[in-house]
Amino acid sequence: MKKFFKKIVHKFLSIERDPKRLAYTTCLGLFIAFSPFLGLQTPLIFIIGYFLKLPISILFTVVYLVNNPFITTIPIILANYFTGYIIFTYVIRVNTCAYNTEIFAWLQLKISPFIQRYLGITEICFWYFIVGGVVFAILFSVPFYPLFKHLYTKLAAHENNSSK
């Protein structure tokens, strides 16, 4: 696994040489991966990459390494939802379930018996998912910028020294 990530980082450094820009691109990819906009992640990659002139291949790699449809999508969805649940139930203390969209009301009717049995949730709230997802995405992307910047700066210096 260590070789796999090392290989990816070296490919990233061959695509983007500036460690600050690479760290920014990686953190933006993390934000998109953890964001609640599930069906819009791929278009977001292209739009954000184009307008900010970022390497789309790096964004794609980060988004789909983190939000792998076969392994991590369900835990990310649950983390987004429960982050919103905590925010609206314990921090703000506002019941936003009354403002659900039609599709969430329909979804609640369909899956309510299952989620109540397994997760203990009595109703699904659209706003828990959206607001919680954005907050969760910020919490897991912004704080990693200094770490990635330091890592990429060190690895770029190491590659420059080893190529001489």
Q: Which pLDDT score, from 0 to 100, does residue 108 have?
A: 72
Amino acid letter, residue 21: R
Q: Which pLDDT score, from 0 to 100, does residue 89 have?
A: 87
Q: Which pLDDT score, from 0 to 100, does residue 107 have?
A: 75
Q: Tokens at residue 123, please?
A: 């109703």
Helix (H) or strand (E) holding 17: none
- pLDDT tens, per residue, the chain with 164 residues: 677 767 777 777 777 778 899 999 999 999 999 999 888 999 999 999 999 999 998 899 899 889 888 888 889 988 998 999 899 989 988 888 777 777 777 777 777 777 777 777 777 778 888 999 999 999 999 999 999 999 888 888 877 676 65
Whole-number Å distance between alpha carbons of 71 and 147 = 25
Q: Which pLDDT score, from 0 to 100, does residue 1 have?
A: 62
> Where are the chain's structural domains?
2-68+142-163, 73-133
Whole-number Å distance between alpha carbons of 149 and 26 = 10
